[in-house]
Structure 1
Amino acid sequence: MNEADALARSWREARLPAAGVHLDSAACSRQSLAAIEAAAAHARHESEVGGYVAAQAAGHVLDAGRAGIAALTGMSSDDVIFTTGSGNALHLLLGAWPMERTVACLPGEYGPNLAEFAANDFTWQVLPVDGLGRVDPEAARRMLGDAPPAMVHLTAIASHRGVVQPVAAVAEVCRELGVPLVVDAAQALAHIDCVVEADAVYSSSRKWTAGPRGVGVLAVRPALADLLQSPPWAGSMSALECLELGEANVAARVGFSVAVGQHLAAGPEAVHRRLAAVGRATRTALAEVVGWRVVEPDDEPTAITTLAPTDGADPVQVRARLIDEHGLVTTAAGIERAPMELTTPVLRVSPHVDASTEDIAALVAALSAVT
């Protein structure tokens, strides 16, 4: 059995059988039984000894989760805090932002991120990109050098398009100019290599790491973390530590920590290779479906395939019919996901490492039938 087949088999064996065909990992992957059972065991322990005692007892598991995220982002465990998700992580970071409130971001920036910028009084300029929405690092160097913002915010893989941004090249530009780089890794963590020299990285649990909903992470390097604004009651606590305080679903954090451990045990590079191969196979198959255009290049190293309708199909209705009539789960991405760039809704397909050729063939047949 080759590496890809072994990885797919172990992924399936770690989970309940899918009810249908799940091709929606960019929205929410299927949790493993180990992650579910770890969260449930913690909830039972809360019932036995109380939530705060149980949280203290789970400290070693949460520390392991932080260490795992640190390994995946190239930071240290002390740089990592838990949040309730990607949006919450950005909200916390922007609320404590210590410098001028100006940001450079993608024209395809995620809509809720733009709302967070606006709510925190940030003004933004857009980075220069090519026809796929991918940053041109040299053009960015010239633009940022002429008018440096206080932050560059880069969504490593967008919500509406499975194109990888040149994060490492942008990080180099930001280091040269002394501008902090913040990376939205909601679609990137456990999907592509996220060990880059960013000043802050944040992500969610429920996507490619296949953890529970309602939990995420924020990792901030000390050079930036030491500048964050502390609340007046902080005392000896750092500003970063203060951001993690508050009511928390510790059971979900435990489940997420287990999911991160499983990803590391599977081998991140092997997962990346398998996801890229699944993406190539999916795009090749879907390129033949009449009425849709595959947006990503065939060899884009992601498992996300975006389909733009060419003959007036409604992605929202198509998604609903794929679920109701064929048991196939995908995402209909509306223009609100990228309001500065997206002009029509698209259909997003995002299988994980367990996707089979039969799954993709079923999608092709079903999509042809409902279009």
Structure 2
Amino acid sequence: MSTADQLAHSWRAARLPAAGVHLDSAACSRQALAAIEAAAAHARHESEVGGYVAAQAAAPALDAGRAGVAALTGMSADDVVFTTGSGNALELLLGVWSMARSVACLPGEYGPNLAAFAAHGFATRPLPVDDLGRVDPEAASESLRADPPAMVHLTALGSHRGVAQPVSDLAAVCRDIGLPLVIDAAQALGHLDCAVDADAIYSSSRKWLAGPRGVGVLAVRPALADLLLTPQWAGPLSALQCLEIGEANIAARIGFSVAVGQHLAAGPYDVRGRLAALGHLTRATLADVAGWRVVEPADEPTAITTLAPTDGADPAQVRARLIAEHGIVTTAAGTERAPMELVAPVLRVAPHVDNTAEDLEVFAAALRTVS
């Protein structure tokens, strides 16, 4: 059995059988039973001893989760705090930002991120990109040197298009100029290499790491964390530590920590390779489906494939029919996901390592039927 087949088999064996064909891991992957059971065990412990005593007992498991995230991001465990998701992580960071409020970001920036920047008084400016929305590091270097923003924000992999950004190249540019780089890794953590020398990086649990919903992480290097606003009540706590204080679903954080451990045990390099191969296979399988155009290059190293309708199909209606009539789950991505770049809704297909060529053929046949 090949490494890819072993990975697919172990991933599948760790979960309940899928009810149909799940091609929606860019939205929410299927949790492993171990993550579910760990969260349930913590909830039972809360019932036995109380939530705060149980949380204290869970500290080693949470520390392991932070250490796992640190390993995936090139940070240290002390740099990592839990949040309720990617959006919450960005809101927390922007809320304690002490520098000027200007940010350079992609024209295809995620809509809710743009809303968060606006709500916190950040002026945005676009980074130079190619026709696929991929940042041009050389042009970005010239632009950023000419008019430096207070922050460079890069969504490593978009919600509306499976195009991987050259994160390491832009990180080198920012490091050379002296600009803080913040990475939105909601679609990248557990999918692409995220140890990219960023100053801050944030992500959610429920996508490629296959943790529970309602959990996220924010990691900030000390050099940037030391510049963040610290509340007057903080005492000995750092600004970063203060971000984690408050009501929290500890059971979900435990489940996430288990999911991170499973990802590390599976081998992040092997997972990335399997996901890239599935992305290539998906695009090849869907290339000739009438009424749809594959947006990404065939060899893009991601598992996300977006399909743009060419004959007037409504992605939202198609998604609903795929679920109702064929038991196939995908995502209909509206223009609100990238309001400065996406001109019409698309259908997004996102297999995980346990999906097969047969799954993709079944999907292609169903898509032809409902289209």
What TM-score do the two structures reach when normalised by structure 1?
1.00
Q: What SS does the corresponding residue of 1:153 show, helix, strand or coil?
A: strand
Match of 1:108 in 2: 108
Match of 1:225 in 2: 225
Match of 2:192 in 1: 192
The residue type paired with residue 233 of structure 1 is W
Distance of 2:293 and 2:306 partners within structure 1:
8
Q: What is the CA-CA distance between 1:357 and the residue it aligns to?
A: 1.1
Match of 1:331 in 2: 331
Matched, 1:356 2:356: yes
Q: What is the CA-CA distance between 1:98 and the residue it aligns to?
A: 1.1
The residue type paired with residue 77 of structure 1 is A
Distance of 1:7 and 1:98 partners within structure 2:
44
Q: What SS does the corresponding residue of 1:46 show, helix, strand or coil?
A: helix
Q: What SS does the corresponding residue of 1:183 show, helix, strand or coil?
A: strand
Matched, 1:308 2:292: no
Distance of 2:221 and 2:98 partners within structure 1:
14
Q: What is the CA-CA distance between 1:107 and the residue it aligns to?
A: 0.2
What TM-score do the two structures reach when normalised by structure 2?
1.00
The residue type paired with residue 206 of structure 2 is R
Residue-by-residue CA offset, 1:138-181 (whole Å, 9 max, x unaligned): 00000000000000000000000000000000000101111100
Distance of 1:285 and 1:358 partners within structure 2:
10
Distance of 2:62 and 2:297 partners within structure 1:
39
Q: What is the CA-CA distance between 1:135 and the residue it aligns to?
A: 0.2
Matched, 1:182 2:190: no
Q: What is the CA-CA distance between 1:262 and the residue it aligns to?
A: 0.1
Matched, 1:9 2:9: yes
Q: What is the CA-CA distance between 1:288 and the residue it aligns to?
A: 1.1
Q: What is the CA-CA distance between 1:253 and the residue it aligns to?
A: 0.1
The residue type paired with residue 340 of structure 1 is M
Distance of 1:368 and 1:21 partners within structure 2:
16
Match of 2:141 in 1: 141
Matched, 1:260 2:251: no
Q: What SS does the corresponding residue of 1:159 show, helix, strand or coil?
A: coil
Distance of 1:292 and 1:369 partners within structure 2:
13
Residue-by-residue CA offset, 1:231-261 (whole Å, 9 max, x unaligned): 1101110000000011000000000000000
Q: What SS does the corresponding residue of 2:232 show, helix, strand or coil?
A: coil
1:1-371 maps to which residues of 2 (within 5 A)? Answer: 1-371=1-371
Distance of 1:143 and 1:182 partners within structure 2:
17
Distance of 1:148 and 1:193 partners within structure 2:
27
The residue type paired with residue 210 of structure 2 is A
Regions of 4+ moved over 4 Å: none
The residue type paired with residue 136 of structure 1 is D
Percent identity reads: 77
Q: What SS does the corresponding residue of 2:313 show, helix, strand or coil?
A: coil
Residue-by-residue CA offset, 1:162-211 (whole Å, 9 max, x unaligned): 00000000000101111100000000000010001100000000000000
Distance of 2:13 and 2:113 partners within structure 1:
36
Distance of 1:238 and 1:349 partners within structure 2:
41
Q: What SS does the corresponding residue of 1:66 show, helix, strand or coil?
A: helix
Distance of 1:110 and 1:341 partners within structure 2:
10
Distance of 1:236 and 1:334 partners within structure 2:
45
The residue type paired with residue 314 of structure 1 is D
When the two structures are aligned, how many residues end up with a matched partner? 371
Distance of 2:150 and 2:244 partners within structure 1:
24
Cα root mean square deviation, aligned: 0.3
Q: What SS does the corresponding residue of 1:16 show, helix, strand or coil?
A: coil
Residue-by-residue CA offset, 1:62-86 (whole Å, 9 max, x unaligned): 0000000000000000000000000
The residue type paired with residue 307 of structure 1 is L
Distance of 1:341 and 1:303 partners within structure 2:
21
What are structure 1's unaligned runs of at least 5 residues? none
Distance of 1:356 and 1:171 partners within structure 2:
35
Distance of 1:109 and 1:79 partners within structure 2:
25
Distance of 1:191 and 1:357 partners within structure 2:
19
What are structure 2's unaligned runs of at least 5 residues? none
Distance of 1:311 and 1:139 partners within structure 2:
36
The residue type paired with residue 82 of structure 1 is F
Distance of 1:345 and 1:246 partners within structure 2:
38
Distance of 1:277 and 1:22 partners within structure 2:
17
Q: What SS does the corresponding residue of 2:260 show, helix, strand or coil?
A: helix
The residue type paired with residue 280 of structure 1 is H
Q: What SS does the corresponding residue of 1:306 show, helix, strand or coil?
A: strand
Distance of 2:335 and 2:221 partners within structure 1:
33
